[in-house]
């Protein structure tokens, strides 16, 4: 079982930068590195698309994610900014991916004590869903895109504390361990 985690952005591409200077790329990396540490010794292969503040081309990341059983791309804001926890999956995601996305949402909501939502594929609702066109989903339709927090506001930036990172990582850890029955 191979899980690829993509801490989005990196290098000169900071993603969202908070009013006090917190770079989204750093937050994404912190969650990914901590998750790797938590999952050490578990019988799954966790691969990261980057484990330093490096610029990895999107095409390389997407290809890497396309080879995984599941892939999770991490963001902290900057996707739609509506809910504090937002999870996106491709309209071409299969049922297992949709189910895993819901597990992640549930763990994130209880871990962070916030509400969120999963934007499901159109057929799950029986109607088309409006969603940004993520190039990621073209290459890796079973990828799950997770975004937490509102880094672009002063309050939102402050909220993403060390504790937030720990709770978020814990939620991802519990999701994967529970989902895979490890």
* Residue 149 binds Zn ion, judged by CB under 5 A: no
CB closer to Zn ion, 24 vs 107: 24
Q: What's the token pair of residue 55? A: 């610029």
The answer to the question of residue 156 lying near Zn ion (CB under 5 A) is no
Closer CB to Zn ion, residue 27 or residue 112?
A: 27
Q: How far is the CB of 137 from Zn ion (least distance, A)?
A: 15
| Stretch 14-53: interaction string toward Zn ion, x if CB under 5 A | -x--------------------------------------
Residue in 30, 64, 75, 150 binding Zn ion, rule: CB under 5 A: 75
| Cα–Cα distance measured from residue 146 to residue 98, given in angstroms and rounded to the nearest whole number | 13
8 touching Zn ion, by CB under 5 A: yes
- 145 near Zn ion, judged by CB under 5 A: no
Give the number of other Cβ atoms within 10 Å of residue 105's Cβ.
22
User: What tokens were used for 58?
Assistant: 């999107």
Nearest residue relative to Zn ion (C-beta): 75
DSSP string, the chain: -EEEEEE--BTTB--SB-TT--BHHHHHHHHHHHHHHHTTTSSSEEEES-SSS----HHHHHHHHHTSSEEEEEESS-S--SSSEEEEE-TT--HHHHHHHHHHHHHHHHHHT--EEEE--HHHHTS-------HHHHH-TTEEEEEES-TTSHHHHHH--HHHHHHHHHHHHHHHHHHHT-
- Applying CB under 5 A, does 78 fall inside the site for Zn ion? yes
Nearer Cβ to Zn ion (140/174):
140
Q: How far is the CB of 15 from Zn ion (least distance, A)?
A: 4
- Under the binding rule (CB under 5 A), the answer on residue 139 touching Zn ion is no
Closest separation in Å from C-beta 97 to Zn ion: 20
Q: Which is nearer to Zn ion, 77 or 121 (CB)?
A: 77
């Amino acid at each position: 079982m191979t899980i690829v985690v993509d801490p989005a952005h990196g290098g000169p591409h900071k993603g969202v930068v908070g009013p006090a200077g917190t770079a989204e790329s750093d937050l994404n990396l912190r969650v990914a590195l901590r998750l790797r540490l938590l999952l050490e010794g578990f019988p799954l292969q966790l691969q990261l698309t980057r484990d330093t503040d490096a610029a990895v081309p999107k095409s390389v990341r997407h290809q890497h994610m396309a080879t995984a059983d599941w892939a999770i791309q991490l963001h902290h804001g900057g996707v739609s900014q509506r809910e504090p926890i937002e999870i996106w999956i491709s309209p071409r995601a299969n049922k297992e991916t949709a189910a895993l996305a819901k597990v992640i949402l549930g763990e994130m909501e209880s871990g962070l004590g916030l509400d969120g939502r999963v934007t499901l594929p159109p057929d799950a609702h029986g109607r088309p869903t409006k969603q940004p066109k993520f190039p990621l989903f073209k290459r890796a339709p079973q990828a799950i895109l997770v975004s937490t927090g509102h880094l672009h506001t002063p309050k939102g930036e402050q909220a993403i504390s060390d504790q937030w990172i720990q709770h978020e990582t814990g939620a991802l850890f519990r999701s994967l361990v529970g989902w895979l029955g490890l």
